Every structure is written in structure tokens, then in C-alpha cells.
Amino acid sequence: MSYPHLELVSHHLCPYAQRAVILLREKDIPHQNTSIDLANKPDWFRQISPLGKVPLLKVDAAVVFESVVICEYLNEITPGSLHPSNPLEKAKHRSWIEFSANILVTTA
């Protein structure tokens, strides 16, 4: 399968970026990792990141941001979904994803 050039811009300690890293590895998606210093964000990153946060996925010349959106995109461009096909079960999966995000916020 042919994929666009993918570059994940993140920080190795960012728990939200780890979502994308796990999905990229689980689905064996070829990509480049670029880690930035969050205390001293490079100018190029500030120019392409609307929120100034990681993770950010460069897809050829386009940019996708927010970890959940990045994961959904990666899941959709690859064969075999990590979500069940049943709409209710898929909604439950997404509910647990949101739940885990709230736990990260309260414990981080």
C-alpha cells in the first residue's frame, strides 16, 4: 500500500502524542518522527501549528493536528479499522478514548 509522506511532530513525553505513536506502530505505517523542545518551539513549528501544541502530523504539505483527529485519519487511510464496525460499539470505543483524555488532563 502506498501512503503519503507522514511526519509526526511531537515530544517524547507527551501522552497525547503517544496515541499516534502507538497507532503508527500497531498498523506498521511508514513515517518520520520529529521531536521538538516544547520549552523552545522552533519557528517552523509555530508557523504550521494553529494551537502551538503537539502532536501534529504533516501529511505531504498538509497539517493535521489534535491526537484523536490524527489517529482517526491514520485509521481511515489504512486497511483494517481498529474500531468495531457496529455503530454503537464504535461510539463506545470513542467514549472511552474521550474518557482516557480526561484522565490524562487530571493526572498530568
List residues with catalytic annotation. Answer: 14
The answer for residues whose C-beta is within 8 angstroms of residue 81's C-beta and 6 or more apart is: 75
CB atoms within 10 A of CB 92: 13
H-type alpha helices, 4-66: 15-26, 43-48
Return d(Cα 59, Cα 3) in angstroms, integer: 9
Element containing residue 58 per DSSP (H, E): strand 56-59
Return d(Cα 34, Cα 55) in angstroms, integer: 10
